[in-house]
Structure 1
Amino acid sequence: MVAFVPATGAHAQSEQGGSSALAAGVLQQRQSDPNAKMLVTADELVYDYTRNEVIAEGNVQIYYDGAVLQARRVVYDQQGSRLRAEGGVRLKDKDGTVIAADSLDLSQDFADGFVNSLRIDTPDDMHFVAARADRSGGDTTVLTSGAYTPCEPCKEKPEKPPLWQVRAAKIIHKEKEQTIYFEDARLEFFGIPIAWVPYMEAPDPTVKRKSGFLVPQFVNSSEIGYGVTVPYFWNIAPNMDVTFSPLFVSKQGVMLDGEFRHRLETGTYSIRAAGIIQEDKDEFAGQPGYRDQRGMVETHGRFNINENWYWGWDGWLMSDETFLQDYNLISATTREVTSQIYLVGQGDRSYFDLRAMYFTGLTSYDVEAQQPVIHPVLDYSKTLGESVLGGQFSYDFNLTSLTRDEIDLRATSALYAPTFPTLYDGPTNQCDLAKVEDAGAALRDACLMRGMVGSYTRLSGVVDWRRTFIDTAGQMWTPFFNMQLDVASVQSQADDSPWLPGNDEQLFRAMPAVGLEYRYPFISAQSWGTQTIEPIAQVIIRPDETDIGQFPNEDAQSLIFDDTNLFDVSKYSGYDRVEGGGRGNIGIQYTANFNGGGQINALFGQSYQLFGKNSYAYEDMANTGAESGLETDASDYVARLYYQPTQNFSVINRFRFDQADWSVERYEIEGRAVLTEKLSVSALYGLYTAQPELGYYEEREGILGMGTLKLDERWSLRAAARYNLNLDEIDYTLFGVSYADECFGLALSYRSDFTESGNRSRVDTVLVTISLKTLGEAGFSSQLGSGSSSSD
């Protein structure tokens, strides 16, 4: 018996019976709401009780639980529990996935069936096409003559091949294994095959981590020869994995390399180890790598204690300083690695940092015994939220303890070499301590002690209080009090560390300071904005610095006098030196703010030693203070000029002029400009006069320029260059071009750098990186001129 329902644009809705079964057969597997209603529309709806079939004819649309099935004709076989759809079949699931086919024949539970001329488009831009799709076993789908791409089809010419795609004789998806297998696969760009593999596999999009082989990596250098590694990723658990990366090289044999990673509830840690028994160590003759066995161990970890505290570590152990670069385990331009364990905490007004550190140099010029072991260094600072005597009160603590096995004694200038030809040790520029007696007093000018031998422990505390008063005339008066207390223990032999006390010394130092800062801003409002002229004067009263040269200077060797520290209570960069004696700092500042958002700021000032010893005129083991511009009673002049007319352009100038003849001692100008939405540039020029007492015996002058250009939405260029005006040569260059769209990325760059690293004084690198969305990223790098290259 046949029941016929004429319906031109007819609608049928039911919770049971033929139409309900029709929709359920398509959507049963993915339904998430058992109470969802179903709507079927068609030109004709036929109930064939003889064959136990439900047939929908003409413009069939089935709506169920957020999904829509469209076809010219849909037949549901209730007895065989199969569903057939024909003619422009289109199924859009509630997650946005779209399946298009000429026809499909599936069992009710999607366990078995086939689809002809299939196309699948997912919400995350994955696109599959196949001549036929067969499903069996409830979890296996086979696409015959299939192709996959994440690239969107061309809107003007949809038939045009995508930028790239993977075609395969068969694409097999096993849902339980969460794996996609490709048989007889080839990678095509613009429809042109460029690579072929007989077999490959990849995790399906539902998987973020899966065991398997990764992209091969290739290396090539004159010392190790040609090599290849095919890393294997072992997904032990959702929070634990291992990557094995054995490297097979033609000259040295096999290097074993493995990394273990583990994620816990509060943090993560990793351990990596690599090692090799070299078959031809003579390739490294005269280098640190001239040994049979080489290797390294590396580990990192970080764990959160709570929202304010965390702890962690970084650890490095290696057979020699150039192993990492020789076998491409680290960037060729990395000059050192730091092993440390740390505890860090941060509050709204406080900061705590405790760590123990050990430094390992990675150049052939590094002397490991000269690197300090820090055990430990502690920094703590806090600013009270409540006022003290109406002002702001803050305090800082620093504990530094270190040990060094060998003195770090460097030549200040090659100009001394003719006078003391035996004083220096070749290219390392090390002073020969054994020649101290021969050099006599002149050694003080010829060598700098960058690090003492022995042990040094110092505990320092600094308190600071200040309060600002504004009188009826608008003048700002800020009295302040500052106190630094230092307790130190020095254990060093005088013969091993000249200019330091011998044997065991216990040192104490107190540096109290009281001062007053005065500012009187004159403000003028104009139609275009405001102007402010602000005279600034500061007077600091304190005793002389004590034990100058008795305290080792390990953390205050960097001293640059400029506009940024003109009004600091102490201009030293660390705790090992303190500024003493009475000092006055004066300056005048001008600021203009424009209504349109622009700004001009200028500062000019000078510092004066009013009474007592000028700390900067008394040299320590590293000559800190010499030729700084502060060693005379009246310092050099410092100035700043900043101009920012818009958010897209700014330039800042910093000057230091000699106080006697106004000659330029130090000058920097840095500019940044966003010229258009596509073009931005920046440049830095620096001029620094000779400082022979600090080891800079020639004037230094150079220009660094950088720029990026966005050609369109996908293409961009970048370039950088540094020109050494003293040597009249370019000592750093970078050129790059990149392309990126929704499915493909390409970056090419060339870099030339004279930074010393490993065994190399210059590194020229060509880098090519290709990114294929969902498949991964591959790169190739070649170090030109240094005889090594790598790719991955």
Structure 2
Amino acid sequence: MTTSPRFLCPLVAVAALTLGSPSEGLSQSASSGTQPSQSAPSEPRNVVLVADSVNVTADGLLIARGNVEALSDDVRLTAREIIYNDTTGEIVLKGPIRITQGDEATIVADAAELQSDLRNGLIHSARLVLADQVQLASARMTRLDGRYSVLDKTTVSSCHVCETGEPPLWQIRAQRVVHDQLEKQLYFDHASVLVRDVPVFYFPHLRMPDPTLDRAQGFLIPEFNHSSLLNYGVKVPYFIPWGTERDLVLSPYLSSETRTMEFRYRQAFEKGGIQLEGAISDDTIRSDIIRGFLFAEGLFQLGQDYKLTFDLKAVSDDTYLTDYDYADYDRLNSDITIARASRTENTRFAAYHYQTLREDEDNDEIPFLVLKAETERRYLNMWGGELRTSVEAHGHQRRSTKDGDAGRDVGRANANVQWLGDWTLGNGLRTGVTGALAFDAYRTENDSSVSTFDSGLAPSVAAYLRYPMSKTGTDGATYILEPLAQVAWTGGDTLEVANDESTQVEFDEGNLLSLSRFPSYDRRERGLSSAVGMNWSRISSKGWQGSLTFGQVIRQDAQPDFSKSSGLSGTSSDLLVAGQLRNQSGLLFTGRALLDTKGDLNKAGARLGWSNDRLWLDASYIWLEKDLVESRPNDISEMKFDGSYRLNRHWTGMMDWQFDAVSGKTSEAGVGLEYRNECLRMELSLSRRFSTSSTVQSSTRVGFNVALLGFSVNSNDKSYDRKCG
């Protein structure tokens, strides 16, 4: 039967206006204090009405019966029967009724009557579900002005409610709840919070955001903790949005030992954004000063593909961050950088600032300010290969004016031209040649042990061979074996400059074939040298992958600026052994070691990561032999462990541990236990930090927080849902 559009449009408008027209929105910011204007709803388009039977009576009634379904845009209405009176404009819906608007809201009811303007009405035995998370159940729901839903004697919860009648884990019962659909807020009158049907809190008035609102002003989840330094305390964060582009979080932290205000400010701009985070404290730990810290980060897009980034850090004293468990830095590194990177160019201008928090370092005697400008360019297909050029200007300064290491200031300029060519021969042999010419110029102040100014040229040439071979085994795995070798020579005289930047040298599979393994230009490997190595890998058809690398450097003359623990001292380097293993279940293991001629370890490091649906693990180990050249008077042997394991659907255990194997003492340890379901998250944590210096005190912290999921905290992870029965 064909039905006139004048009947269809009001029917579908019932669905749109009961939930709110998709075109409704905020005409002004909620923080402005101005009431948003409510425009008259527009008629929905693309109207479709489906029913077992549709009849139009002589007195102007349209009656749709049996599996009635009305559709318009993302709104869908289903009912047993709909009666529309064309004369009075009244609409009666008989249930069961179900109205949905996308993923935002669903109304389930037994019956409804709406007035002729479609903006007011009464819905019986209604249940409103927001974002498939929070449900509001009421015997009667009244719609006002197409904007407000008023529910009397309402029960609200995000917990899964079973038909057995068992009460949910938590619920809020209120005499009245008003849902402001435009502002996306829930207002409660005479609300009681119940846990397993037992009242625990009462609020005369309560406001909470509905789960479809991304940013709402109000209190966030409080955090309760206990610290051996700060005693029992509570943090109560308050979120303040300013429009859509900035917000502020203020978190008062109160205990018997401190009065602290934590803050976080964020602002988005058209071409970037900033974030400021910090705290100000008046405590009994250092009653002589007002303590605090400030971290600032930002990123901005500039013209011509340049990006400006900054990461600034400042703190009032050396122990503030650890006393409050804000961070475990032993040095604060700040930088402001303007950079541009592409396939053929890398340009950067940067300023760095350093502040040490270490007990054995003096801020006046370390470089506190570093300025750097550098650019590197690639020119492809130049004389059958690739041409690279680089220019760098660098300067660092100390506050101290003492002669020698404590007051040395350095400025340098470096330039390099390098040509690289590589070829693959018919039998699979890969060969390559590199030629380079570098220029270095240094000016040194406040150090009479070296020349005030020195400069020089360093020509280099190298040739390498690699021969990758592969086969497929009977098990279906692919095996790859690649022997490699390089011969290199670098000329020029060693400059009379201090070793101020190349004090920490790493020898790994990434620089086995490098011309120089020093991290900066104040030292270069010179003379004739060779490198030999072997790469082996296995790729299983079942997803397992493993690889091993062996390598060694042999040179004509020893390089005196390499320390023993670097593995590169003498005419023959230590044997480099590195490997990696991964599988399809999320396991990743990497390891590296340097073995001397006696088989003893000079350096070793390993890392294990494992991530899947139940386990998250990050474990590492490092061994460094003592080396006074690298300012390491004692051996270092440390193990770190951080992980969590999901014990079952609701419980997750967490643990972190840091152990100093040389002293045989734990430096930091923590355990935690989390319970979570679809409507609640509880976390209990215990951590202990052990002092390793006279300035940092040992401390123990206990933390506890509870979050009611579904409102400001998303709970869409269905793996935590409780099951009925």
Partner of 1:776, secondary structure, is coil
CA distance in 2: counterparts of 1:534 and 1:94, whole angstroms: 57
Matching residue within 305, 310, 324 for 2:307: 310
Q: Displacement, 1:744?
A: 4.0
Structure with the greater relative contact order (CA < 8 A, sep ≥ 6): 1 or 2? Answer: 2
For the 8 Å contact 2:69–2:78, the answer to whether it is kept is yes
Alpha-carbon RMSD across the aligned residues, in angstroms, is 4.1
Checking the alignment, whether the CA contact within 8 Å between 2:110 and 2:125 is kept in structure 1 is: yes
Query: Residue 578 of structure 1 corresponds to which residue in structure 2?
Result: 524
Equivalent of residue 374 in structure 1, options 369, 374, 380: 369
CA distance in 1, matches of 2:102, 2:429: 69
In the TM superposition, residue 347 of structure 1 has moved relative to its aligned partner by 0.8
User: Which residue of 1 is the match for residue 441 of structure 2?
Assistant: 487
User: For residue 394 of structure 1, what is the aligned residue in structure 2?
Assistant: 388
Distance 1:375 1:541, change over 3 A: closer
Identify unmatched segments of 5+ residues in structure 2.
22-40, 715-725
Residue of structure 1 aligned with 2:180, choices 158, 174, 179: 174
The alpha carbon displacement at 1:532 in A equals 5.3
Name the counterpart of 1:236: 242
Are 1:629 and 2:541 counterparts? Answer: no
Tell me the residue number matched to 2:721.
Answer: none
Match for residue 355 of structure 2 among 333, 353, 360: 360
CA deviation map 1:623-673 (0-9, x unaligned)? x524433222233333345566877666555332323x3433334455566
What is the distance in 1 between the residues matched to 2:342 and 2:427? 38
Partner letter of residue 129 of structure 1? A
- 1:33-182 alignment to 2 at 5 Å? 34=44, 36-37=46-47, 39=49, 41=51, 47=57, 49=59, 54=61, 56=63, 59=66, 61=68, 63-65=70-72, 67=75, 69-71=77-79, 74=82, 76=84, 81-93=89-101, 97-136=105-144, 139-154=147-162, 157=163, 159-175=165-181, 177-182=183-188
- The AA in structure 1 aligned to 2:344 is R
Q: Which amino acid aligns with 1:566?
A: L
Q: Deviations over 1:149-190 (max 9, x none)?
A: 334444xx4644444433322212234554321122233445
Partner of 1:560: 506
**Match of residue 489 from structure 2:** 541
2:709 matches 1:773: yes
Whole-angstrom distance in 2 between the partners of 1:35 and 1:178: 25
Aligned partners of 1:681 and 1:177: how far apart in 2?
Answer: 42
Secondary structure at 1:387's aligned position in 2? strand
**Shift of residue 356 of structure 1?**
0.9
1:665 match: 602
2:338 paired with 1:343 = yes
Partner Cα distance (1:15, 1:383) in 2: 67
Q: What's 2:663 paired with?
A: 727
| Cα shift at 1:269 | 2.5
Q: Match of 2:171, as an amino acid?
A: Q
Aligned partner of 2:411 among 457, 482, 485: 457
Post-superposition CA distance 1:171-218 (Å, at most 9, x none): 122345543211222334454444433322123455433444444556
- 1:263 maps to what in 2? 268
- Inter-CA distance 55–590: structure 2 relative to 1 (3 Å threshold): closer
Secondary structure at 1:465 match in 2: strand
For the 8 Å contact 2:229–2:699, the answer to whether it is kept is no
Report Cα offsets for 1:421-474 as digits up to 9, x if no partner.
xxxxxxxxxxxx9xx9xxxxxxxxxxxx8x642432122223332223455665
Shift of the 394–238 alpha-carbon distance from structure 1 to 2, 3 Å rule, reads same
Deviation at 1:690, TM superposition (A): 3.4
Tell me how far apart the structure 2 counterparts of residues 143 and 16 of structure 1 sit (CA, whole Å). Answer: 31
The change in CA–CA distance for 1:467 and 1:754 in structure 2 (over 3 A counts) is farther
User: Does the aligned pair in 2 maintain the 1:657–1:664 contact within 8 Å?
Assistant: yes
Shift of 1:404: 1.0
Query: Is the 2:459–2:492 Cα contact (8 Å) retained in structure 1?
Result: no
2:453 corresponds to 1:506 = yes
Task: Provide the C-alpha distance between the structure 2 equivalents of 1:457 and 1:716, rounded to a whole number of angstroms.
Answer: 54
Structure 1 pair 337–540 and aligned structure 2 pair: CA distance change class (3 A): same
Alignment partner of 1:466: what SS?
A: strand
- Is 1:15 aligned with 2:8? no
Determine the structure 2 residue equivalent to 1:423. Answer: none
TM-score, normalised to structure 1, is: 0.75
Retained in 1: the 8 A contact 2:103–2:132? no
Deviates further, 567-576 or 108-117? 108-117
For residue 414 of structure 1, what is the aligned residue in structure 2? Answer: none
TM-score, length-normalised on structure 2? 0.81
One of 459, 462, 483 as aligned partner of 1:515: 462
Q: Deviations over 1:730-785 (max 9, x none)?
A: 4444444445555444444444455869953545444445443343369xxxxxxx
In the alignment, the residues of structure 1 paired with residue 226 and residue 647 of structure 2 have an alpha-carbon distance, to the nearest angstrom, of 34
Quick one: structure 1 residues 387 and 204, their matched pair in 2 at CA, closer, same or farther if it must change by over 3 Å? same
Contact 2:126–2:141, Cα closer than 8 Å, also in 1: yes
How many angstroms apart in 1 are the aligned matches of 2:601 and 2:217? 63
Give how far 1:129 is off.
0.8
Q: Given residue 355 of structure 1, which amino acid in structure 2 is its aligned partner? A: A
Structure 1: any 5+ residue segments left out of the alignment?
Answer: 1-10, 408-432, 437-448, 619-623, 779-792
Measured after TM superposition, the shift of residue 610 of structure 1 is: 0.9
3-state SS of paired residue (2:572): coil
Report matched runs for 1:672-683 at 5 Å: 678=614
Confirm or deny: 8 A CA contact 1:531 1:592 kept in the other structure: yes
Once the two structures are superposed, what CA deviation does each residue of 1:695-737 show, in whole Å capped at 9, x if it has no partner? 4444444555565544445544444544443333444444444
SS class of match (2:566): coil
Q: Of the two, which has the highest radius of gyration?
A: 1
Aligned to 2:29: none
Q: 8 Å contact 1:25–1:76 — kept in the other structure?
A: no
Structure 1, 485-494 or 131-140: larger mean CA deviation: 131-140
Contact 1:733 1:752 in 2 (8 A): yes
Equivalent pairs counted in the alignment come to 691
Q: In 2, distance between residues paired with 1:538 and 1:25?
A: 79
CA drift at 1:602? 3.9
Kindly provide the CA deviation profile for residues 597-626 of structure 1, in whole angstroms up to 9, marking residues without a partner as x: 655544444322314xx33x24xxxxx524
Structure 2 distance, partners of 1:646, 1:179, is: 45
1:655 aligns with 2:593: yes
For residues 215 and 650 of structure 1, what CA distance do their matches in structure 2 show? 35
Aligned to 1:406: 400
| Cα distance change, pair 703–346 in 1 and its aligned pair in 2 (3 A) | same
Deviation, 1:298, is: 4.7
Residues 751 and 251 of structure 1: CA distance in aligned 2, closer, same or farther (over 3 Å) = closer
Relative to structure 1, is the Cα distance of residues 38 and 530 closer, same or farther in structure 2, using a 3 angstrom cutoff? closer
Deviates more, 1:749-758 or 1:135-144: 749-758
Q: Is the Cα contact below 8 Å between 2:209 and 2:712 reproduced in 1?
A: no
The answer to whether the 8 Å contact 2:79/2:96 transfers is: yes
Structure 1 Cα separation of the partners of residues 202 and 69 of structure 2: 42
Q: What is the CA-CA distance between 1:104 and the residue it aligns to?
A: 2.7
- Closer/same/farther in 2, CA of residues 347 and 164 from structure 1, 3 Å limit: farther
CA contact (8 A) 1:225 1:249 kept: yes
Structure 1's 769 and 466: CA in aligned 2 closer, same or farther, altered over 3 A? farther
